[in-house]
Amino acid sequence: MQSYIGILAREKVRISYKSWKQVPSGVKDLIWESVNLSYNVDPRWKKGCLNSANSKWRQYKALLTHKFIFSKLAKPEELKEPPIGYGITRDDWSAFVISRMSDDFKKVSDEQKKRRKQNVYPHRLARKGYARFADEIGDELCDDEEINRAIIWKEGRMNKKGQFEGDDLKMAIEKIDDYVQQKREGKLHLEEANTDILSKALSSEEHSGRVRGVGGYVTPTFYFNVGSIVQKHLVNEQFILQQKELMEKLEAMFRKGACDLDTDEKCVPNIETLDDDDMQILNNDDFFQGKPVALTLGSKSNIVAYGTIVHVNAVGFG
């Protein structure tokens, strides 16, 4: 799907637009509609889809710039015609070349080059993404997500020769290996919020909008608190199961006290005493006075059912 979004960005968005903001909303909607014709995508992902198209469109323009403009500055006559096979009109190409040769663009380009040099941990995943890469190295992963994230980040920066380039990267890899070993031996305990092996090894917190080594659209708030979110869900589920078990006991109790419709015998309901941990009868002093009673679970404040005593001599619930 991501490859298809890239194709749509190349075909639908003209390179003469200076920025994504200048692209008409109708063109953006066309990209989104085209994606939905081929894939079943949640409507809430429209913004993410267009952000992806924006990124791929800028990458496309960067490719054209370096391959067909900067490499031919010594031969300006070759810049007049658009490259063959890219479906670019002559007018769009002329406007694109002029914009790329401007002083403003050169200034922005130089700033981006400086920023790129500051990335001392470049990944080697190409277009693959962390999710697919994690599937490929599944044999190296384990049940500990802290260890997994560190391993995925580490292996994603290995070159084709199986080596790590750069002193800073090598130092970070050594720290990761050391912390992973400590964690497996039970010697490493991280109690700081939003901190695990990778963030400790890199000595930096996660960006507010993403988590390194995981992929896009996963925020630190969710990633580092998913355990408590799941635990809360399990607690609620356990409570529901307790309620269900209690109701089943009550149903069994009432079934035993039900009238036999095949005989003329009077109905004499029975009541079974549940475990003390399961129930309490409130208003105990008025138990035989035909007044309302409440059934509680765990504590007197947790009322799960109400009832009324309907028989005095033969006790039962109604």
* Residues 62, 10: Cα–Cα separation, whole Å: 12
Encode pLDDT of 63-96 as tens digits: 999 999 999 888 888 899 999 999 999 999 999 9
Tell whether the model's pLDDT for residue 287 goes beyond 60. no
According to the model, what pLDDT value does residue 255 have?
61
Encoded tokens for 300:
């007197």
Tell whether the model's pLDDT for residue 117 goes beyond 70. yes
According to DSSP, the residues that pair with 305 across neighbouring strands are: 295
According to DSSP, the residues that pair with 69 across neighbouring strands are: none
39 confidence band (pLDDT: 50, 70, 90): very high
Tell whether the model's pLDDT for residue 5 goes beyond 90. yes
Encoded tokens for 147:
């260890």
Encoded tokens for 279:
């129930």
Residues sharing a CB contact under 8 Å with residue 88, sequence separation 6 or more, in sequence order? 15, 82, 96
CA dihedral of residues 143, 127, 21, 86 (deg, nearest 10):
-170
Tell whether the model's pLDDT for residue 129 goes beyond 90. no
Q: Which comes out higher in pLDDT, residue 253 or 23?
A: 23
Encoded tokens for 39:
């894939």
Asked whether the CA dihedral 68, 71, 75, 76 is positive or negative, the reply is positive
What's the residue count for the chain? 318
Q: Which one, of 15, 19, 12, 13, lies nearest residue 96 by Cα?
A: 15
How high does pLDDT run on average in the chain? Answer: 81
**Segments making up each domain of the chain, as ranges:** 2-117, 130-224, 229-317
Q: Helix H segments across the chain?
A: 2-12, 25-38, 46-68, 90-100, 103-117, 130-136, 145-155, 167-184, 197-202, 220-223, 226-256
Q: What residue type is 198 in one-letter code?
A: L
DSSP assignment string, 233-276: HHHHHHHHHHHHHHHHHHHHHHHHTS--TTS-PPP----PPPPT
Average pLDDT of the residues in 195-201: 92
**Structural contact between residues 184 and 146, judged by C-beta atoms closer than 8 angstroms:** no
300 confidence band (pLDDT: 50, 70, 90): low
236 confidence band (pLDDT: 50, 70, 90): low
